[in-house]
Amino acid sequence: MTVRTPKLFVRSYGCQMNVYDAERMADALAPDGYASTDRAEDADLIVLNTCHIREKAAEKVYSELGRIRKMGEELGRKPLVAVAGCVAQAEGAEIMKRAPVVDLVVGPQSYQRLPELVRQARAGEKPVDTEFAVEEKFSSLATPVRPLATRGVTAFVTVQEGCDKFCSFCVVPYTRGAEASRSVAQIVAETERLAAQGVREVTLLGQNVDAYHGEGPDGRDWTLARLLLRLAEIEGLARLRYTTSHPRDFGDDLIAAHRDCDKLMPYLHLPVQSGSDRILKAMNRRHTAADYLRLIERIRHARPDLALSGDFIVGFPGERTEDFEATMRIVDEAEYASAFTFKYSPRPGTPAAERDGQVSEAAKAERLQRLQARITERQIAFQRSLVGARFDVLVERAGRHPGQMAGRSPYLSPVQIEGSTAAVGEVVSVEVTGSGPNSLFAAPAGGAREDVRMLAEATA
Ligand code: SAH
Ligand code: SF4
Ligand code: F3S
């Protein structure tokens, strides 16, 4: 008799931290025999790893739960259904009331308890665990066990979680709890393990990553900059990135790291949210537009080729036309290479949701469209400005056709390399030959091109 391996299907919504957490959940369940599948139909356990940041994101979970219920009826067997992530934290047991198909609810700080919760759910209990046990999570979820094949040459590593900033629109301080940093030793060990498995690029994750203050080997709190410099020493690792930062926490040593550390990529996601000081104040961002621009100038002074990205919210309560115009201006003043734009979404329990001066849906839609159009123009111009440039690409996978390889530029744009003999995981020098709105086209430059020619001659 063969015992069937139970299958796990995780669908993640929201930010990259959820992507990282999804891998940790799979790791936590692996000792119980769970193998991952990418087909919900095959799964014995379905985990929806949810996001609560905007209303649309939060509602997705309920439509997905409806689909899962129907799928179960059609299959004639009901998989176990778990809701994890930030909706789980925000709504807890309410989820089961609204969607009885759900067997267990687990908040983002309790994934280390997932195997036990799954056993309880199997026994017919309906466990709900939304405790903030972040220290416990960090200490027990630190060891990835699955082989590299499923991971590729880039990886995320969460270095801090939670947020103490309380921007007046945002649910994160409530769903992820207070800011907590992992120790340097844990992060170094995890990153070394990833590098040993062939990972060449690591992106450090945190809701407020530049507020990182984990305990160093000397017993003192280390800054993000110090951590980055330490990780840069790890053999095999070629590139470091980090996201997402808050302007208030951007230290001088982090600026210096952008100047001094070659492995730290010249790309920065630093949201400003609005260009209007009145709105920034109402958002509780605790900086002005001028502070932000000064900071960007200092970072660019340290790293002139820096590509800047950010987030914007339009239609925050009380936002008038002149506030929005200030946002339009800062897009050009800060010279964004790209940015994400959102319509303000009132979130239950956040201060801004209760405020007067909520902006009409029509005004939000119009502002979003104008802002988005300007950002798209900037993005296309940025991509075009790179044609003819030479830089390194980390090769992440084979392209669609023979001789094509795909990877990313230092600025995070996807690059298609034509006529490349490079292997996945190699960092190769390219010359950009063309640009599209989202990706670049390139040919091997310098040494690599010689290789191709020699190879062509040898086989002629
Ligand atoms: N910690 C990060 C971002 C967290 S959420 C930071 O501080 O920048 C990602 C983005 O979602 C935010 O930058 C913001 O632009 C957007 N966002 C957050 N809450 C929102 C809301 N209630 N409505 C619309 N957009 C929101
Ligand atoms: Fe949310 Fe503000 Fe914290 Fe970012 S800094 S997670 S926007 S509260
Ligand atoms: Fe969403 Fe939670 Fe991330 S609300 S954006 S999944 S921290």
Please report which ligand is nearest the Cα atom of 243: 1
Last residue of a domain, one of 342, 357, 385: 385
CATH number, position 446 = 2.40.50.140
CATH number, position 125 = 3.40.50.12160
Q: What's the mean pLDDT when you consider all of the chain?
A: 92
Mean pLDDT along residues 413-436? 94
> Does residue 1 lie in a domain region?
no
Q: Which domain covers residue 424, as residue numbers?
A: 390-459
Last residue of a domain, one of 265, 283, 311: 265
> Does residue 287 lie in a domain region?
no
| Number of separate domains in the chain | 4
> Does residue 102 lie in a domain region?
yes
> Does residue 274 lie in a domain region?
no
pLDDT over 90, % of the chain: 87
Mean pLDDT along residues 410-422? 94
Q: What is the pLDDT of residue 2?
A: 59
Q: Are residue 312 and residue 397 in the same domain, yes or no?
A: no
Categorize the per-residue pLDDT at 1 as very low, low, confident or very high, splitting at 50, 70 and 90. Answer: low
Ligand 3 mean position, distance from CA 143 (Å):
23
Q: What is the pLDDT of residue 325?
A: 98
Could you report the per-residue pLDDT of 304-349, keeping only the tens digit for each?
A: 999 999 999 999 999 999 999 999 999 999 999 999 999 999 999 9
Q: Are residue 106 and residue 160 in the same domain, yes or no?
A: no
Backbone dihedral angles phi then psi of residue 60, each to the nearest 5 degrees: -55, -35
> Does residue 242 lie in a domain region?
yes
Q: What is the pLDDT of residue 343?
A: 98
> Does residue 283 lie in a domain region?
no
> Does residue 73 lie in a domain region?
yes
Q: Is the pLDDT of residue 453 over 80?
A: no
Q: Is the pLDDT of residue 201 over 70?
A: yes
Q: Is the pLDDT of residue 51 over 50?
A: yes
| Least confident segment among 9-23, 93-107, 357-371, 439-453 | 439-453
Last residue of a domain, one of 331, 361, 385: 385
> Does residue 284 lie in a domain region?
no
Q: Given ligand 2 and candidates 17, 89, 158, 165, which is best to mutate, with the most ligand atoms within 8 Å of its CB?
A: 165
CATH number, position 351 = 3.30.750.200
Q: Are residue 30 and residue 63 in the same domain, yes or no?
A: yes
Q: What is the pLDDT of residue 146?
A: 58
Q: Are residue 108 and residue 169 in the same domain, yes or no?
A: no
Could you report the per-residue pLDDT of 347-356, keeping only the tens digit for each?
A: 999 999 999 9
CATH number, position 235 = 3.30.750.210
Q: Is the pLDDT of residue 203 over 90?
A: yes
Q: Are residue 89 and residue 156 in the same domain, yes or no?
A: no
Show the ligand 2 pocket: residues with CB < 6 angstroms.
Answer: 163, 165-167, 170, 172-173, 207-208, 246
Q: Are residue 348 and residue 396 in the same domain, yes or no?
A: no
Taking the model in full, what pTM does it have? 0.93
Rg of the Cα trace of the chain?
Answer: 23
Q: Are residue 376 and residue 395 in the same domain, yes or no?
A: no
Q: Are residue 198 and residue 261 in the same domain, yes or no?
A: yes
Q: Is the pLDDT of residue 216 over 80?
A: yes
Please give the annotated binding residues for [4Fe-4S] cluster, written as ranges.
15, 51, 86, 163, 167, 170
Could you report the per-residue pLDDT of 235-271, keeping only the tens digit for each?
A: 999 999 999 999 999 999 999 999 999 999 999 999 9
Q: What is the pLDDT of residue 426?
A: 96
Q: Are residue 344 and residue 438 in the same domain, yes or no?
A: no
Q: Are residue 374 and residue 397 in the same domain, yes or no?
A: no
Q: Are residue 241 and residue 346 in the same domain, yes or no?
A: no
Q: Are residue 374 and residue 401 in the same domain, yes or no?
A: no
pLDDT over 70, % of the chain: 94
Mean pLDDT along residues 117-142? 86
Categorize the per-residue pLDDT at 151 as very low, low, confident or very high, splitting at 50, 70 and 90. Answer: low
Show the ligand 3 pocket: residues with CB < 6 angstroms.
Answer: 14-15, 17-18, 51-53, 85-86, 171-172, 175-176, 207
